[in-house]
Amino acid sequence: MRARGADWNELCAALEGREIFGPWFEPDFERESRRLQRATRALDVQAAARAAAALVGLGPGSTPAGDDFLIGWIAGLAVTKGGNAARASFLEKFRREVSLQKQKTHPLSARYLGEACELRFSERLADFVRAFAAGAAGWRAALDRVLATGHSSGAAAALGFARAALVWPGAR
Amino acid sequence: MALAHRVLANAYRDSVALMQLSAALAKLAGVKQASAVMATPANLELLRRAGLDAVPAQAKPSDLLIVVEGEAAKLPAALDEAERCLAAPSGGAPAAGPQQLAPRSIAMALAEEKSANLALISTPGDYAAAEALKALKLGLHVMLFSDNVSSADELMLKRRARASGLIVMGPDCGTAILNGIPLAFANVVRRGAIGAVAASGTGLQEVTVLVDRLGAGISQAIGTGGHDLSQEIGGISMLSGLAALAADAATKVIVLVSKPPAKEIAAAVLAAARRAGKPVVVNFLGADPRAVSGGNVHGVETLEDAANAAVAALKKRLPKRKKAIPGKTPKFGKGQHFIRGLFSGGTFCFEAALLLQQSLEDVWSNSPVGKAKRLADAWHSRGHTLVDLGEDEFTRGRPHPMIDHRLRNERLLAEAANKSVAVILFDVVLGYGSHADPAAEMVPVLRKARAIARKGKRRLVFVGHVCGTKGDPQGLEQQCKALEGAGVLLAASNAQAVRWAIGIVQGAKR
C-alpha cells in the first residue's frame, strides 16, 4: 500500500457524511461493521462471518448497501494482506463464508457479491483500488467514478474498502 | 406513529429511482419517513424490530418492500401512491388487455416505430458509446444525455455520424428542442424562425426562453455537448448543426452559443457561419464580441444579448430592456461587501463570473473563468463567490440541483449567516426535467435566511432569475409570484441579475 497520509485523509474526507444507509439501517450497519472490524483484526473467521451474514442484504437500494460494503471490504483486505500467511488464510476462509450467504440478497446483488468472493470486482472499483494502493495520482478521479455508481452503491463499496484497508496494522 | 408496508413481488427499480420514491413519499402529509428496500432477510429482521409486523413469510430478496412510518390513517394512501409511481414510471396508465413488451434495444424500438430518426441515449457512461454506435449504424441521429464518455469515443462517434450525414448531440447533452419537441431539460417555447446550436445546456435554455418571451419562436434547438468545440473534437457537431439550420427554410436567424472555443475551431465555426446565407448571432462566452462580428455574423457578450440580437434580426427592431434595479438602495452593515452566487446552471455561473470580474475584484468560483480564482474548497466561500452546484463535487450520489434543492438550500443558509455577505444571487430553472415546484422548495429557506440575517442585525438582498416560460409545467407566473413574495428581486435574465447584484453592492449605503 503506497497511498500517502494525505491520500488517506482525502479519501476519508470524500466519504465522510454521506447518507448511505439512512436512519433505519444506520445503527445496525454501524454495529455489524464494528463487529466485522474487531473480528477481522483478531483474524477470527467465525465472528467475522457472523457480522458479514448480518450485513448481507442489509440496507436500501436494489443492490443493498450492506452487500456493496462487503464487496469493498473484501477488496480492501485483498490489497492489505500483503505476504502475511495468517491474513491470507483469513481472507480465503472469509470469502468462502460470505459466498455461502449470497442467497440472502437480491439475485443481482448476489451475483456481484459472488464475483467479489472470487476476487473479481467491477472495473470502476478495481481501477480505484489499484490506483489508491499504488499511490497513483489518478486515484481521486477513479474514486469519483466509483462514487458515481448508483445512488449509494459506489459510496458503500468505497467505505467498505477504506475501513477494511485500515483494519490490519501497517496499511497506513 | 405507525408503520405500514407493501410487498411488490419481483419488482426491480434502480437505486436512484428507489431513493427518489422514498423522498417523494416522505413529503406526503402524515408520513414521517419512508423507505423502498429489497425484502432481504436482513432488512425484514430489522424492520420487524422497528415494529413492522405481518410481513408475508414468502417475501423474498427479489421482492421490493415499501415501508412508511407516520399517522396510521395516512399510510394506506401513501402505499397506494408508491405502487402507482412504481407501476407507471413514465406517468402513463397501463393499457387494457394484453400489453406489448417494452422494447429492450434500439433495434427493437426502431422496428416498432420505423419513422423514428433519433435515439436519445441515457445510460451509465461506460455503456453509452456502444449504444450510440448501434444507433448510428441503424441510421439514427443521436442525443447522448450520458456523461463520462471518453474524448476518444466522442470523436469516433462524431466522425462516424458526420460521414453518414448524421449528428451526435453530446455526450453530456442536457437540452434540445427538435421539431417542437423538448428533450431532456428543456422549456416549452413557441415554434418560430430562430434556430440555435449550443455547446451549453443552460445557455441553450436561456436563449430559447428569452426568444419566447420576446414574442419570437424556435425552429430547432440543437445541443452539442460542452466539449464539442475543443481542439480535440473540432466542433464537428456545431458545424453539422449550423449546416442543418443554414439549409432549413424555416430557420431565418441562427444563434450559436459556447464557452470559449479553441482558437482554430472558433475560426472554422465563424467561417462556416459567414457562409450560412442568413444572420448568425454568436455568443462565445468570454470572447470579445467585436473580434467575432463581421458580415452576417454578429457577436454578443451575453445570453440575453444573443436572444435580443436574434429577435432584432428577425423583426428588424430592437427589443425594449428593463434596466433599473427595483426597490430602494439598501443599507448594509459595515462589513457586508460580498455577492454569493449559487447556481444550478453551469453556464449561468460562468456568465456571472465573466460579468462580475468586469466590475469587482476578488471573484472566486469552483468553475473559474478569466480573472476569477479557483476556490480551494468549493464548500466554503470567500470574497465574491460564484458556485456551480451542478459540478461533480456537489452531484456525486445526489440528483442535479435543478431537481434537488437541498444542497443549495443548506448553502444559502450558511451564506446568510456570514456577516460579510450582502447579496445572494441565484437561478431557478423551470421546464421539463426540473423540479416540479422550485419556489415551494426555496421560499421557506429564503425566509429563514432573512431571519438569520435580521437576528444578526443585517440586511440581506436576494437577486434571482427564473429561466422559464409561461408554457412550462411549473407555471412561470406562479413561481415568480412566490419568489417575489419572499422578497426576491427577480431579473429578466441571468445577465441582468448579475448586473443588479453588482449595482446593489457598489451603490449601497453602509
Q: What domains sit in chain B, N to C, each tagged with a CATH number?
A: 2-87 (3.30.1360), 106-315 (3.40.50.261), 338-507 (3.40.50.261)
User: What is the mean predicted confidence (pLDDT) over A6-31?
Assistant: 83
Residue of A59, A123, A155 lying closest to B397 (CB–CB): A155
| A148 neighbourhood in chain B, CB within 8 Å | 148, 392, 396-397
B19/A66 CB distance under 8 A? no
For B:108-137, CB contacts with A below 8 A are: 124, 126
CB contact under 8 A, B15 and A148: no
pLDDT at B255: 98
**Nearest CB to A66 within list B36, B42, B392:** B42
Asked whether residue A4 carries a pLDDT value surpassing 90, the answer given is no
- For B258, the grid coordinates are 459556447
Q: pLDDT tens for residues A125-154? A: 999 999 998 888 889 999 999 998 887 889
Q: Report pLDDT digits (tens) over A19-34.
A: 788 777 888 899 999 9
Residue ranges, chain B, pLDDT below 70: 15-16, 53-56, 88-101, 319-323, 396-398, 510
Residues of chain A contacting B, Cβ within 8 Å: 18, 22-25, 28, 54-64, 66, 103-110, 123-124, 144-145, 147-155
Look over chain B and give the mean of its residue pLDDT values, rounded to a whole number: 90
Q: Closest to B15 (Cβ–Cβ): which among A24, A62, A105? A: A62
B364, burial (CB in 10 Å: exposed 0-12, middle 13-18, buried 19+): buried
Helix locations, B61-190, DSSP H? 75-87, 106-112, 125-137, 151-163
Kindly tell me the sign of the dihedral angle through the C-alpha atoms of B83, B85, B90, B96.
positive
- Mutation pick from B10, B44, B396 vs chain A, by most beta carbons of A within 10 Å, is B396
pLDDT given at position B96: 44
CB pair distance less than 8 Å for B16 and A151: yes
The C-alpha atoms of residue B309 and residue B303 are separated, in whole angstroms, by 10
User: What is the predicted pLDDT for the residue at A101?
Assistant: 93
Q: Does B159 touch chain A (CB under 8 A)?
A: no
Select the residue of B15, B38, B61 nearest A151 (Cβ to Cβ). Answer: B15
Q: Cα B226 to the chain's mean position, in Å?
A: 13
Residue B394 contacts residue B407 (beta carbons within 8 Å): yes
pTM exceeds 0.95, yes or no = no
ipTM metric: 0.78
Q: Is the CB of A148 less than 8 angstroms away from the CB of B50? A: no
% of chain A residues with pLDDT over 70: 99
DSSP sequence for chain A: ----HHHHHHHHHHHTT--SSHHHHHHHHHHHHHHHHHHHHTT-HHHHHHHHHHHTT-SSBTTTHHHHHHHHHHHHHHHH-TT-HHHHHHHHHHHHHHHTTGGGS-HHHHHHHHHHHTT---HHHHHHHHHHHTT-TTHHHHHHHHHTSTTTHHHHHHHHHHHHHTTSTT--
Looking at the complex, does the CB of residue B18 fall below 8 Å from at least one CB of chain A? yes
Selected for mutation to probe chain A from B12, B18, B43 (highest A CB count within 10 Å) is: B43
Q: How far is A153 from chain B (nearest CA, A)?
A: 8
Structural domain spans, chain A: 5-14+23-165
- Closest CA of chain B from A94, distance in Å: 19
Model confidence pLDDT, tens digit, residues B356-402: 999 999 999 999 999 999 999 999 999 999 999 988 778 765 678 99
Cβ neighbors of B193 (< 8 A, separation 6 or more) are: B216, B217, B219, B250, B251, B252, B253, B314
